Structure 1
């Protein structure tokens, strides 16, 4: 690990673990969504804060992270905690893809060149440099479901690959969450359309790194698209949740 990578890992640890009360609040948030023993997929596990919160909520977790540095950290820090760790990305099809890595800001490493072009000049990203390229293994949500079972919850945080991941899913799943960025809001809109093609979903969102829903009600795709398009640039990012309605 060179100095830039060490700095990047330290920065991520400070961001996601430097405020332990936020980690506890995230666990409480997930307990409101999941029952003990539910299966959850953590796609783009990074340094494992979401996996830890899911485990704290009593879930069984399959966590995926393609970045070798971060995967080694996860093996050291999460081993023995009842989580299945996979060094893999997720996409539309099985195979391999090139991961653009930011050594100093590993949380925004991406498999989606178009996403880097879309957000690279926006506030919050102008200082980021993607300085390394590595080939990583890619699986699909369908393959994960076939191997590990149907999850109650899928969390996706993959810097521009959200729509590709949903393209690799052929059945509706009960609860799916993915990050949205205001500078690349069309990607979130495409994800809503994909989910509407799979099943009857309603939507809510969490602003930034918060641990509560921004809305008191769950709305249909049309209303959520309007809400996302009306977000101010200062909103920057958040997580969009899609809940499958009972048939």
Structure 2
């Protein structure tokens, strides 16, 4: 066993991540600062933030000392342990999935890339067939208790912003929301899941009675791709464009008009 693997076996991957989080490079610090500035347009002190699919909390870190009420929802116990160790009682953590209704669902775990674990078998199959994640193995399942966005709102109050990063399960998450919120984001995967994204946008446009505007960021960027917010019809046209399909993945942002 080499030294690197020996350290991993002795400390465990979560403890390694925890230790590394305290010794950030200047590049990482700049990214945190950029994310803090970006999210400030949606979140101000005393507002509520739902992080749906929190994983190891890279979108929590920029907000942790901004007097924002953070509700992190994450189904994977390994990630939950990490979040509790790092943030303690600074945030509220729920070990759940989020979906259309309160029930129990199977989570498909990728043990070699847990950031890609998903409740969506369709998303897993489409990304494997396209070759995007040809080396990823979803080799474990767990039963997870699901909650809904409506439930979270009833328990913690209406959020100013919801981040949804659930690897292809976005529409099911949105269907558990029957009331408007100020703003949200949802991750997309194209071209494999273009139709799934269009279904999400249609659901939101109906929910908000067309009183809604859209923009998006490519990949992990914190800069909008469009120079201004656009309406539903313009966003549909954008999603169907070659330029958008070539972005591969990113986040669509939605806000009340």
- Normalising by structure 1, we get a TM-score of 0.90
The aligned residue for residue 235 of structure 1 is 247
Question: In structure 1, what is the Cα distance between the partners aligned to 2:100 and 2:239?
Answer: 24
The aligned residue for residue 95 of structure 1 is 103
Question: In structure 2, what is the Cα distance between the partners aligned to 1:233 and 1:203?
Answer: 16
Partner secondary structure for residue 49 of structure 1: coil
Question: In structure 2, what is the Cα distance between the partners aligned to 1:131 and 1:141?
Answer: 28
Deviations 1:45-83 (A, max 9, x none): 0001112223344421100000111111111111132x1
Partner secondary structure for residue 212 of structure 1: coil
- Alignment of 1:131 with 2:142, yes or no, is no
- Which of residues 185, 190, 194 is equivalent to 1:177? 185
For structure 1, the 5+ residue unaligned runs are: none
Question: In structure 2, what is the Cα distance between the partners aligned to 1:28 and 1:119?
Answer: 32
- Alignment of 1:202 with 2:213, yes or no, is yes
Question: In structure 2, what is the Cα distance between the partners aligned to 1:139 and 1:88?
Answer: 7
Question: In structure 1, what is the Cα distance between the partners aligned to 2:186 and 2:116?
Answer: 14
- Higher radius of gyration, 1 or 2: 2
Once the two structures are TM-superposed, the CA of residue 226 in structure 1 deviates from its matched residue by 1.5
Partner secondary structure for residue 218 of structure 1: coil
For structure 2, the 5+ residue unaligned runs are: 1-7
- Which of residues 56, 61, 73 is equivalent to 1:47? 56
Question: In structure 1, what is the Cα distance between the partners aligned to 2:202 and 2:94?
Answer: 29
- Which of residues 29, 34, 45 is equivalent to 2:38? 29
Partner secondary structure for residue 176 of structure 1: strand
- Alignment of 1:216 with 2:227, yes or no, is yes
- Normalising by structure 2, we get a TM-score of 0.86
Once the two structures are TM-superposed, the CA of residue 124 in structure 1 deviates from its matched residue by 3.2
Q: RMSD of the alignment, in Å?
A: 2.3
Once the two structures are TM-superposed, the CA of residue 148 in structure 1 deviates from its matched residue by 0.6
